[in-house]
């Protein structure tokens, strides 16, 4: 296969940095590099035509963790490391909102609720526990009231008979995921970053001067075309798919289903909800309801999962009872043994920024930034 002179010189040759993966982390890394190294030629290689794995399939929670999730982080990581992780989420959210602007990402300051479902095996935390978590989180969130017990008026549209109680956080919000990714791509292109979609990286050879990236693209007549690109600097931001290029890293792909209803007249519920320690989530998208998750149920197949999610949606939000599901999709999370993401050097001038877990919207830009700081720290 031969590339034209124009294709070669404009996109394929002479890149100072190649980022593999065009999700929130990869694009943020490319943007950060363009700020710190304005003369660099930067390419982002992405195999998906929409340019996103989890980044275009997520539920749009701008969240840093429900009280139960933070308690889990503290028990696994210890208080100090869990605070570092919380800081990354808070900083990432600030960076996202500041860099792209609230209206460009459809940000809504709607707060969040954690519902403690009756019979689901989760305990309603005591006032003492909530105060203790608030005291631990205060330095990072900047508020002594990160969480409080939800009042009746905060539960509009929710079937309160199915819950032991609810914890509210006024500090979380929601975004429009499509708008966010479009804004990121727009910013990257405006900055001169080359976005090369539809190219699958099949391998990379580390080299002291120029890393070689092996690439495959679907050619005409369904024949895959193979070629290579070279770059002295590489960032791998392939999240859930990281093991394809870094076989030993601590990232496992985990599928997550999302359902969205048709439009509902006069929907009262407005906000975001976590359930079952973050394994389940629901929100409204204007006058529709979204529900997702349920991995912890360990069901036999997707049909059972879809049914159970739909039943829970109807039970928790009675206004959805007559609404059909209009959109259904599955995305892939990058999960590891802890929720701490990986930003680490692989070889000279190459860095991996992967394992974003279920809060990559919050943490993604921060991790993209950190990956470039690490790359340039040689
Ligand atoms: C269903 C679902 C709901 C979620 N909801 C939320 C939420 O509400 N809030 C939140 O904060 N987080 C949520 N998340 C998590 C969040 O979306 C991710 O953590 C985040 O998007 C990860 O961003 P990323 O850039 O690291 O990875 P990705 O967006 O997955 O980007 C990696 C990219 O690399 C590309 N790629 C992989 N391998 C190759 C290769 N070999 N060659 C070329 N390209 C390659 C993939 O196509 C992909 O586009 C959700 C995730 C899912 C799946």
Q: Is the pLDDT of residue 41 over 70?
A: yes
**Which residues form the domain of 132?**
110-171+252-334
- Whether the pLDDT of residue 358 is over 80: the answer is yes
Q: Are residues 302 and 264 in the same domain?
A: yes
Cα-to-centroid distance, 360 and ligand 1 (Å): 7
As for how many domains the chain has, the answer is 2
Minimum-distance ligand 1 atom for the alpha carbon of 361: 11
CA distances from 264 to 58, 107, 270, 289, 312 (A): 21, 21, 12, 8, 17
Burial 239-254 (b: 16+ CB within 10 A, else e): bbbbbebbeebbbebe
In a domain, residue 14? The reply is: yes
- Say if residue 256 is in the same domain as residue 321: yes
Q: What are the pocket residues of ligand 1 if the criterion is a CB atom closer than 6 Å to any ligand atom?
A: 20-26, 45-48, 52-55, 57-61, 63, 200-201, 237-241, 244-245, 256, 258, 292, 331-333, 356, 358-362, 364
- Over residues 175-189, the mean pLDDT reads 98
Whole-number pLDDT of residue 12: 96
* Sequence-distant contacts of 295-303: CB under 8 A, at least 24 apart: 295/254, 295/255, 295/256, 302/257, 302/330
Separation of CA 153 and ligand 1 centre (Å):
35
Answer whether residue 53 shows pLDDT above 80: yes
Do both 144 and 256 map to the same domain?
yes
Q: Give mean pLDDT, residues 78-96.
A: 97
Residues 6+ apart with CB under 8 A from 315: 159, 162
User: What's the 82 CA to ligand 1 centre distance in angstroms?
Assistant: 22
Q: Does 50 share its domain with 120?
A: no
pLDDT-derived band at 275, boundaries 50, 70, 90: very high
Residues 237, 262, single domain; the answer is no
Residue 75 lies in a domain: no
Residue 49 lies in a domain: yes
Q: Which residue has the higher pLDDT, 213 or 2?
A: 213
- What digits encode the pLDDT tens for the residues 206-251? 888 899 999 998 766 666 789 999 999 999 999 999 999 999 999 9
pLDDT tens, residue by residue, 283-311: 999 999 999 999 999 999 999 999 999 99
pLDDT of residue 224: 73
With beta carbons less than 8 A apart as the criterion, state whether 256 and 292 touch: yes
Q: How high is the pLDDT of residue 222?
A: 65
Give the per-residue pLDDT at 221.
Answer: 61
Does 256 share its domain with 325?
yes
Lookup: tokens for 224: 């895959």
For the four alpha carbons of 116, 122, 126 and 131, in that order, the dihedral sign comes to negative
Contact 274, 294 (CB under 8 A): no
Top mutation candidate among 22, 112, 239 for ligand 1, by most atoms within 8 Å of CB: 239
Q: What's 307's domain CATH number?
A: 3.30.9.10
Among 361, 367, 368, name the best residue to mutate to test ligand 1's pocket (greatest count of ligand atoms within 8 A of Cβ).
361
Whole-angstrom distance, CA of residue 188 vs CA of residue 184: 6
* Predicted pLDDT at 132: 97
Report which protein residue has its CA nearest ligand 1's atom 37.
238
Quick one: pLDDT at residue 220? 62
How large is the angle between the packed helices 177-190 and 24-36, nearest 10 degrees? 30
84 lies in a domain? Answer: no
Looking at the structure, tell me whether residues 202 and 136 fall in a common domain: no
367 CA: nearest ligand 1 atom? 26
Tell me whether residue 98 is in a domain: no
Do residue 320 and residue 302 come from a single domain? yes
| Residue of 96, 108, 358 best suited for mutating to test ligand 1, as the one with most atoms within 8 Å of CB | 358
Q: Which of 15, 52, 71 is nearest to 356 (CA)?
A: 52
- Cα 330 to middle of ligand 1, angstroms: 12
Query: Does 223 map to a domain?
Result: yes
Comparing CA positions, the residue from 16, 375, 66, 365 lying closest to residue 193 is: 16
Inform me whether the pLDDT recorded for 363 exceeds 70: yes
Residues 345 and 217 in one domain: yes
Beta strands in 305-371 (DSSP E): 325-335, 342-347, 350-354
Q: Are 233 and 348 in contact (CB under 8 A)?
A: no
23 CA distance to ligand 1 middle (Å): 6
Task: For residues 347 and 238, state if they share a domain.
Answer: yes
Question: How far does the centroid of ligand 1 lie from the alpha carbon of residue 341, in Å?
Answer: 13
| Residues in contact with 164: Cβ distance below 8 Å, sequence separation at least 6, in sequence order | 116, 117, 118, 123, 124
Closest C-alpha residue for ligand 1 atom 41: 201
- Model pLDDT for residues 121-159, shown as the tens digit of each residue: 999 999 999 999 999 999 999 999 999 999 999 999 999
242 lies in the same domain as 260: no
**Percent of the chain clearing pLDDT 70 (strictly above):** 98
Q: Is residue 269 in some structural domain?
A: yes
Query: Among 199, 238, 340, 352, which is best to mutate for testing ligand 1, by the most ligand atoms less than 8 A from CB?
Result: 238
Contact (CB, 8 A) for 100 and 93: no
Question: Tokens 């209206």 sit at which residue?
Answer: 103
CATH number at residue 235: 3.50.50.60
For helices 177-190 and 79-100, the axis angle rounded to 10 degrees is: 70
Residue 1 has pLDDT above 90, yes or no: no
Handedness of CA 120, 122, 123, 124 (dihedral sign): negative
Is residue 89 a part of any domain in this protein?
A: no
* Helix, strand or coil, per DSSP, at residue 303: helix
Does 154 lie in the same domain as 260? yes
The secondary element (H helix, E strand) that includes residue 112 is strand 112-117
Query: Quick one: pLDDT band at residue 52, thresholds 50, 70, 90?
Result: confident
pLDDT at 69 over 90: yes
Pick the atom of ligand 1 nearest to 63's CA: 11
């Amino acid at each position: 296969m031969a590339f034209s002179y124009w294709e070669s010189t404009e996109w394929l040759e002479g890149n100072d940095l190649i980022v593999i993966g065009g999700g929130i982390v990869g694009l943020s890394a490319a943007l950060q590099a363009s700020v710190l190294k304005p003369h660099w030629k930067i390419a982002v290689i992405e195999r998906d035509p929409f340019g996103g794995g989890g980044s275009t399939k997520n539920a749009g929670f701008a969240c840093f963790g429900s009280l139960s999730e933070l308690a889990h982080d503290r028990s696994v990581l210890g208080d100090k490391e869990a605070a570092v992780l919380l800081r990354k989420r808070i900083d990432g959210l600030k960076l996202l909102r500041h860099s792209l602007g609230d209206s460009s990402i459809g940000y809504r300051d709607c707060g969040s609720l954690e519902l403690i479902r009756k019979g689901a095996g989760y305990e309603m935390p005591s006032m003492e526990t909530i105060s203790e978590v608030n005291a631990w989180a205060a330095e990072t969130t900047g508020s002594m009231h990160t969480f409080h017990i939800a009042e009746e008026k905060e539960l509009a549209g929710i079937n309160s008979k199915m819950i032991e109680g609810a914890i509210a956080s006024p500090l979380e919000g929601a975004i429009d995921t499509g708008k966010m990714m479009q804004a990121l791509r727009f910013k990257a292109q405006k900055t001169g970053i080359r976005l090369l979609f539809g190219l699958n990286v099949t391998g990379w050879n580390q080299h002291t001067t120029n890393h070689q990236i092996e690439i495959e693209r679907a050619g005409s007549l369904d024949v895959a075309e193979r070629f290579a690109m070279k770059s002295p600097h590489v960032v791998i931001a392939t999240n859930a798919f990281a093991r394809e290029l870094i076989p030993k890293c601590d990232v496992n792909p985990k599928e997550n289903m999302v359902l969205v209803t048709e439009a509902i007249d006069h929907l009262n519920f407005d906000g975001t909800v976590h359930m079952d320690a973050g394994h389940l989530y629901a929100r409204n998208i204007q006058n529709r309801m979204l529900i997702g998750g349920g991995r912890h149920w360990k069901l036999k197949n997707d049909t059972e999962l879809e049914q159970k999610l739909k039943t829970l949606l109807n039970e928790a939000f009675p206004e959805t009872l007559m609404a059909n599901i209009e959109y259904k999709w599955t995305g892939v999370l990058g999960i590891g043994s802890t929720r701490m993401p990986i930003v680490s050097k692989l070889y000279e001038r190459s860095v991996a920024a992967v394992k974003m877990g279920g809060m990559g919207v919050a943490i993604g830009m921060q991790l993209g930034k950190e990956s470039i700081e690490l790359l340039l720290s040689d």
